[in-house]
A = this chain, B = another copy of it.
Amino acid sequence: MDERLSPLEEQEHSLDPDDWAAFRARAHSMLDAALDHAEGVRDGAVWTPMPEDVKAALAEPVPMDAQGTDKVCEDLLARVLPYATGNTHPRFLGWVHGAGTPGGIIADTMAAAMNSNLGGRDHGAIYVERQVISWVKKLFDFPHTSSGLVVSGTSIATLIALTAARYAKAGYDVRRQGVRPEKGRLVGYTSSEAHSCIARTFDMLGLGLDALRSVPVDDVYRMDIVALRQAIRDDLEAGHRPFCVVGSPATVNTGAVDDLDAISRICQEHDLWFHVDGAFGAVAALSETLKPRFKGLERADSIALDFHKWMHVTYDAGIVLIRREDIHREAFTLRREYLTAAPRGLAAGNPWFCEYGPELSRGFRALKVWFHLKEHGIRRIAEKVEDNCRQAAYLGELVKARPELELSTPVSLNICCFRFAAPDLTDTALNLINEEIVIDLQESGVAAPSTTRLNGRLAIRVNITNHRSTMADFDLLVDEVVKLGRALVERV
């Protein structure tokens, strides 16, 4: 290792292109392919499964030798680009995926060129992230003294929020000592319809899945507030230590809106941390029309939400807000010698973002959020949220108007769950038929709803977090469901 290369020899050895002009031309042609994909998104199938021969071609041995930019680009165009998830299509209506916007291409191009690491230090990207956090605090009526962190999504945001909650409410030094159930088991509450990331967080934090009490829901799937009070009382009597309640501004199954106001009052009474799992639902509160339904949200101790869902920032990006900055930082800070901040220079910029969450290296996902919010503005994003709610209501009406279809539960917000229900068929048969309808819709590329189970019955679940969907898409969907359902009944 001691023979010395000349600087020139080494420079030739860098990973930068030998021929910048050729690289530039290729990058532009790839950008055109990306933009063609974005512009033509309405034309193709929602979802195109990857053929077996493409899968086989992908499964190449470890690339020990350089294949070069051109070859890799060609492979990308042939083997990857045609097989996207489909959520940019106007009739992607499954799960809760955002639809993205082409502006994200520009923002991510620039983020890749800058290659910033937002763990800390004093550079431009840090100020962009601070600005994004400051805007979101304002939007959700959080005090300017609160704190936040841009993360990959609600799962990590929840992990951060409940780590802070555990720290704030444990009653002993949980950071040093770990979880100590003998001092009173830390228990929390959320509805039986809550997202699984809450349970996963209880598991990871060492509290245990059993420590998350599953509060029953009412007939429209909202947390039963009387049952919540009772559960807290029971735990207190049993000597446990209730420490948090997690409310949902919209459950993922049915779009049910928990009574956040009532939950926040209960939290205040019992000194519990009030966390809001706002993954997509919190975004609805950006609409002045819808905002009254989310009263209480502004009193949360922490909110987790996604930018990549109902705000349509490209994947992945979310945020956590925490009302008390001191608690947030104290729950995470750990700095070593090699991370010492300096009063000036690149190592300034205190406090560093790595003191507010688990990640030390942090990419510049704040840039696409900043870009997107400025490009489209909050009002326009909120209008699209309202459009989606209007579309869900419209779909509900279409379902009611068809004798072969039935609503599985009243439409709430942007989610409509329904099923094909021919008379004289058992639920078991209908479950199979409805599952088959959904798979057929996906495989034909016509639409991509998902499924769920409500009261043991399989429902076609249409979640509309899509700024490209139009009313006509739902006319088409309903026609197809009925057509497929009838055909399947005939086959049975």
Contacts and interface: CB of A to CB of B under 8 A. Distances in A.
Contact of A1 (B122, B155, B390): B390
A426 interface: no
A393 interface: yes
Contacts of A82: 124
Given A112-B314, A377-B64, A106 B471 contact: no
Nearest to A364: B315
Contacts of A127: 50, 55, 58, 83
B95 A178 contact: no
Nearest to A35: B24
A361 B178 contact: no
Given A10-B471, A345-B439, A387-B13, A85 B359 contact: no
Contacts of A213: none
A264 interface: no
B467 A14 contact: yes
A196 B85 contact: no
Given A80-B110, A371-B72, A1 B124 contact: no
Contacts of A467: 13-16
Interface in A213-232: none
A196 B156 contact: no
Contact of A345 (B15, B442, B461): B442
29 contacts: A10-B470, A11-B470, A13-B384, A14-B467, A15-B376, A16-B38, A27-B109, A28-B28, A62-B138, A63-B378, A64-B379, A72-B371, A72-B374, A75-B374, A80-B124, A107-B112, A117-B316, A153-B361, A156-B156, A156-B359, A174-B206, A178-B211, A179-B206, A182-B182, A196-B336, A206-B206, A342-B439, A344-B443, A345-B438
Given A27-B105, A178-B185, 15 more contacts: A4-B471, A7-B472, A15-B381, A16-B101, A67-B377, A84-B123, A85-B346, A152-B362, A178-B208, A179-B207, A308-B363, A309-B361, A315-B361, A338-B461, A342-B451
